[in-house]
Structure 1
């Protein structure tokens, strides 16, 4: 790119010329504009264009920090002049919005004011001679961006669209003025990706490199990046956004398209205002610019594009060791793996799911992510339970200390969870029952191994727990809730209960009562398995006799006494016991517990529906925010289906053994086979149940816990992103959200109608 020959700029003379040309403009604005404007601009732009930009600059206020003018140019091109106060990442946001409106940027000139000098000693004089204080915002840095654009084929950009663009440009600059950079990126990405979704053919098969040459000699203050690459939709946005995400400030730029090639020149500084002199930093920047350029087109596959691009940047940091304070000397092999077309859309799906998924899941597994993505289609959703247990034992066999065993077990748990969840996220048509069973069997393997290790540890310290007659005291670990029902979902709690046969003492040198031994066993188990509070694989022991006030472990007799017609168990605890089943420990004791469960739950004793309905009413009154829909607790939500099935199990289970199952879908099928439910009604309830379970998983993926299941407002971006997250990805995002809302209304009506008809509103 040829440079214009440098020539001295007579700024005072230019100020006088502009004052004659722009008599309606405050001289202070003209003086500030000419004194601080980049020399290349003053040298190259004609006086009438400067006057236009001055007029726009004169209109800037703290409330209106952006002014735009759109005018015809030649050969179907339009000129868009933007004058605004200067903000970090502003250029990227502007380029993104232009691309989102379907405008192909053919040329661009971007200029930035220098920092203001000392304030004038004397007050500025108005042109009519009256003294006037310095205008608010006059000393602030400004930008002048000049774009030549052409609407893409089949893109309408008439007066209405032009006014809409001006309004949205003004809005994003106001958001930047309020330091709401993330909101700006979200809004720009949302609009841009909707446009790219309609042009997915632009997503090329192979990744074209971005060639960048760094020049630190030609400018005393800036690093000049000379960029050449093939042109793709939104290329300038992708590049500018990559620089902004690397904390690179664009001071000046010249953009030029030559056919299918772009030839750009950026004058840049880091956030400290310094040149980019580190060669490793330059190489990293070139590599990330190339990848982010291509990843921008993969954002069409992301549920939330803004989250996807932000997490992709962090993902690159993790791979390149930037978070560990190291720099790359050569291009990492790991980064080359993500250049394939098939991998980037998959990454976008995962990285655009939620902040929680990234922070608690993907970031911890970033080293395994790329290899798994390459082969994820061949990976099974469900590995046979026996094979899982064998693999875990083989890994533990290499450990020499308790600490190593705990670390190995938790690493195995996290990696297998990652495989299962990733498979489910990427294959939206994968069935919920298969997903739930895969999670459940993994949980059973982890819990069984943990119980075995914790028993060995305590037995070594205190001896074998024995009954009063001297025989070994067996124990069994029971699963409840979603674990008991083989219905685990994303971030479901792992609900457990421990029962041991009876009282006695351990046989070691340090004797300990069985009650204390098994209490410590549960405490040890809770510490052995790593999980954040209310996060993935959180162990919950509250569903036990007497709840949180009771012992962590109970004898078989205590269990039988509590869960009996004369025991302390509340009616809802009898209902909850439907889900209880043995998952680890002594099989014989497990069968005894399950036999008592059936005798108590399905005894044929009257089921007090009035008490049950009162509990349901209190749930709605206390747990549902007025005017909002709680996916679990609202009328017509998931609970209406689960409770309706459980009520029918309680009412008819003493007559039909097939109803004595902890699994909701299996119970629905049994209700049909027993002629209690018509097949058509059961099919509708099954469809609604699977819909709500998928919806719960989508919300948990964002929030990382089981409590907050309020649906976002229907007119919010969060509602749109939720729809895309659970499989309503359409080129027309609004249409996808409308279909999601229609399905929600239909399934909610099914659940509410069946519950009300069967048990009363």
Structure 2
């Protein structure tokens, strides 16, 4: 008999025992109950038993004290009679007229059965097989009582017809399959019960309601779960789990037999075949359940198993470090079910071999674990000594599991995490102290680990750069494997539960790419490499979710997964895109065909030629049937080109500064290709564009900002201004004529929409119109005359600065010269030098206050960064353009060269600014690909990201790159102070107030 681990609790328990007996005797008028309780307390053997309960298990203490009358039955007539009484109570509960009475009766029966079984177990009167069989029988009786009650209730309101009202489940077609330990008659003490609920809609008596059968069957299942699982003041019967049904995330809680058969025979997985080994009808229409399982037998027991699937079978318990001694087995906090060397490994040791050989050896088709091990010996698949060792470990670990659960009736298999807890558990198991228990536990865990490792030692290992990594990667069943979650967390995933759940969804065939068995088999082999590759991203979870989105859009998976399997570098490249390039990942998810770009070298020369780009896009647009086709084709073409350029930057074959002109040419080509069809579509309603007499009307698209300077990055928006040259009173000549002001404003809006609207192919660019005259309040399109007048009379200094980058990129050739002349005239206006430098300095100071940037990685706004360099170029151009227009150029570095050539910028200063600007553009371009719009965090950055930055910065290493950034920024800031800040201060002091 176990000693009490907590003697104080045992003492208090005895006091409560006598107090409760006295109260019950008075309440029931039965003084013999009090006499019984006192006699038990006085009897040494009986008192020792109570000590074992009171001093070790709060749950059993409550069970026996709450029902002393039942306790008397147990002490006087034995545990067999007690258990029989509990079962009789379960059966009787079925006859109660309402669900509430049924639930109360079942819960009282459960409490009585739990106490009977625990006493039989603790005192050694029952074997493990008897204990688990008793728990199983209680579950079956409870489920049957619930089914009978609910079927009668459904029949009473006309929802379901009954073949036999006296025996409602007979012929009902309602199938309650017990899975896992319930199916194998191996329930543990506080076990949940795994169920699959089916209904046979082919039953003749459902002929008139087959289409309407699903709803009442789902309702019945929900009520059955409530009857069994819901906690009331009387407790609960069993926790239930319906997640072993076909694709639980996408199917109702009750499904038809036909649907289940179709699922298993088409997309059923090997782990589901393993689960079906233990499947057994436990309640409802037993005959219908047997028929279903007989139809499924060829799926479960394949005579000619494709041995390519054996690796997938291994994934049922993917033990990466499968060799002996692969991982230290600890005691504290160890999970005796799911952990290394635990119960699950014993079960899968038997089940995987049953799956492989059971199709040809029918004697292996057994559901219970010990029986399966013995059958494997008889079939000469394992040695007798191995079977005995595994069975001995199984009995020991199940005993440990039961004691753990008896303490508080909690569904746990995890050992205490402290030495005191281990000591208490050891005492409850009958040990004098923890030492003997630890010794036996480790012996059995290592025994199981060794035999299981030998079985799976051919499984591929999880490796990182050639070094083997310990851990599990198990993505089977309806629950996440704890060791797998630990492995994923160790890889760097912040939400391993979500990752594991999504991977299980892949294996359920929820995506088209994973519906074939062969695709899932290859995916299983890829999983370690795939997860490791994605884990190297700066944000593994984000990279994984992008890959999941990519996978969801694939039309098929076998070819791609095979390609990944044969070409690991391709997998690494995809992972790099998913983790390191948000824009590229989105494009790849939208168009998986872009994967070819990862395998081939793109023709960068073609991207450098504007004529080649225009010819390429024009040819693609020949296939457009309507305006919607134009939008989709332009989007595909544009995003493909940007994807190619982004890949080159990410791979280090093209720096982001050199890529700026390429990306700008792609954007210009896109705008020029969209403008004519937009105008044509618009003209159908409103006629030809109005213009000056003697010239064709039209709209000029002027680019500013990065596009104007040919410095676009991946993800840049477009700063645009729309201009037209037409009299204000000119009218279009269409069915719905518009004035020039209205016409070009709406046409401009149509072009913006064509660039920004989301279609099935995504969008092209965000468009920013805030640099147009009068900003947000100004018209979408301006006439050349009003544009010139605005800059002559009303423009702010910052608007002139922005205009230094203005460049016409699309529109009628006849307008190009006038547009350029208008822009040049505005820029060559003579400015008051003092006011100009003060305005520039004030604007930079305001930006620094409102959007402060830290120079290291905010290379745009940080002091000495890109904005400072651009402001210097723009200020000097505006200062000197009136006398020397040749200093004007939209590109910042070219402007520095022209200013130096004209003598307005010292050669050394020009070289410093040129070098800094190019560095900032390279780093900014790479960061836009690597982290998108979010701030770069070097603490969480991967080595790949850091290496890419080092390469972009042309540094020796990451530390030196940071030093170079700080030194370069300091040099630019000094020049800003010398050329702008100090002159501005002097000018402000000299200007009269």
Q: What is the TM-score when the length of structure 2 is the normalising length?
A: 0.49
Q: 1:236 to 1:549 in 2, by over 3 A?
A: same
Question: Aligned partners of 1:316, 1:406: CA distance in 2, in Å?
Answer: 25
Deviation (angstroms), 1:727: 3.9
2:671 matches 1:447: yes
Alignment of 1:225-236 (within 5 A): 228-229=458-459, 231=461, 233-234=463-464
Partner residue of 2:970? 749
Q: Secondary structure at the match of 1:490?
A: coil
Question: Aligned partners of 1:246, 1:725: CA distance in 2, in Å?
Answer: 41
Q: Deviations over 1:90-144 (max 9, x none)?
A: 99xxxxxxxxxxxxxxxxx9999999889989xx6xxxxxxxxx59xx7544279
Question: Aligned partners of 1:362, 1:698: CA distance in 2, in Å?
Answer: 18
Contact 1:720-1:737 within 8 A present in 2 as well = no
Partner residue of 1:319? 554
Partner residue of 1:351? 578
Deviation (angstroms), 1:243: 4.0
Partner residue of 1:463? 687
1:84 to 308, 333, 336: 333
Q: Secondary structure at the match of 1:583?
A: strand
Partner residue of 1:421? 646
Deviation (angstroms), 1:699: 4.1
Question: Aligned partners of 1:317, 1:114: CA distance in 2, in Å?
Answer: 45
2:795 to 569, 572, 581: 569
2:624 matches 1:407: no
Deviation (angstroms), 1:314: 5.0
2:609 matches 1:388: no
Partner residue of 2:882? 654
Deviation (angstroms), 1:305: 5.5
Q: Deviations over 1:148-180 (max 9, x none)?
A: xxxxxxxxxxxxxxxxxxxxxxxxxxxxxxxxx
Q: 1:334 to 1:683 in 2, by over 3 A?
A: farther
Deviates more, 1:376-385 or 1:568-577: 376-385
2:801 matches 1:584: no
Question: Aligned partners of 1:469, 1:389: CA distance in 2, in Å?
Answer: 30
Contact 1:353-1:701 within 8 A present in 2 as well = yes
Q: 1:509 to 1:725 in 2, by over 3 A?
A: same
Deviation (angstroms), 1:415: 1.6
Q: Deviations over 1:690-720 (max 9, x none)?
A: 2222333344336644xx6x554x6x31597
Contact 1:473-1:501 within 8 A present in 2 as well = yes
Contact 1:114-1:141 within 8 A present in 2 as well = no
2:919 matches 1:695: no
Question: Aligned partners of 2:715, 2:751: CA distance in 1, in Å?
Answer: 19
RMSD in angstroms over aligned alpha carbons? 4.9
Partner residue of 1:479? 703
Deviation (angstroms), 1:617: 0.6
1:287 to 514, 522, 532: 522
2:414 matches 1:142: yes
Q: Secondary structure at the match of 2:463?
A: coil
Partner residue of 2:741? 515
Partner residue of 2:96? none
Question: Aligned partners of 2:879, 2:952: CA distance in 1, in Å?
Answer: 42
Question: Aligned partners of 1:341, 1:272: CA distance in 2, in Å?
Answer: 20
Q: Secondary structure at the match of 2:714?
A: coil
Contact 1:303-1:729 within 8 A present in 2 as well = no
How many residues align? The count is 560
Question: Aligned partners of 1:745, 1:77: CA distance in 2, in Å?
Answer: 48
Deviates more, 1:580-589 or 1:597-606: 597-606
Question: Aligned partners of 2:333, 2:721: CA distance in 1, in Å?
Answer: 64
1:613 to 823, 827, 841: 841
Question: Aligned partners of 2:584, 2:770: CA distance in 1, in Å?
Answer: 26
Question: Aligned partners of 1:454, 1:589: CA distance in 2, in Å?
Answer: 18
Deviation (angstroms), 1:620: 0.5
Q: Secondary structure at the match of 1:430?
A: coil
Deviates more, 1:379-388 or 1:585-594: 379-388
Query: Gaps spanning 5+ residues in structure 2: where?
Result: 6-51, 61-117, 123-127, 130-323, 341-389, 418-451, 485-499, 983-993
2:829 matches 1:603: yes
Q: Secondary structure at the match of 1:81?
A: coil
Deviation (angstroms), 1:529: 2.0
As a proportion of its length, which structure holds more strand? 1
Question: Aligned partners of 1:552, 1:470: CA distance in 2, in Å?
Answer: 25
1:491 to 711, 715, 718: 715
Partner residue of 1:631? 859
1:717 to 940, 948, 959: 940
Q: 1:677 to 1:405 in 2, by over 3 A?
A: same
Query: Gaps spanning 5+ residues in structure 1: where?
Result: 1-11, 17-22, 41-74, 92-108, 125-133, 146-221, 254-268, 322-327
Deviation (angstroms), 1:447: 0.5
Q: Secondary structure at the match of 1:604?
A: coil
Q: 1:318 to 1:246 in 2, by over 3 A?
A: farther
Structure number with bigger Rg: 2
2:777 matches 1:549: yes
Question: Aligned partners of 1:689, 1:90: CA distance in 2, in Å?
Answer: 56
1:759 to 980, 984, 990: 980
Contact 2:773-2:787 within 8 A present in 1 as well = yes
Q: Secondary structure at the match of 2:860?
A: coil
Q: Secondary structure at the match of 1:582?
A: strand
Contact 1:729-1:736 within 8 A present in 2 as well = no
Alignment of 1:656-671 (within 5 A): 656-671=884-899
Partner residue of 1:726? 949
2:594 matches 1:368: yes
Question: Aligned partners of 2:862, 2:694: CA distance in 1, in Å?
Answer: 53
1:622 to 823, 833, 850: 850
Partner residue of 2:160? none
Contact 1:249-1:271 within 8 A present in 2 as well = no
Deviation (angstroms), 1:587: 2.2
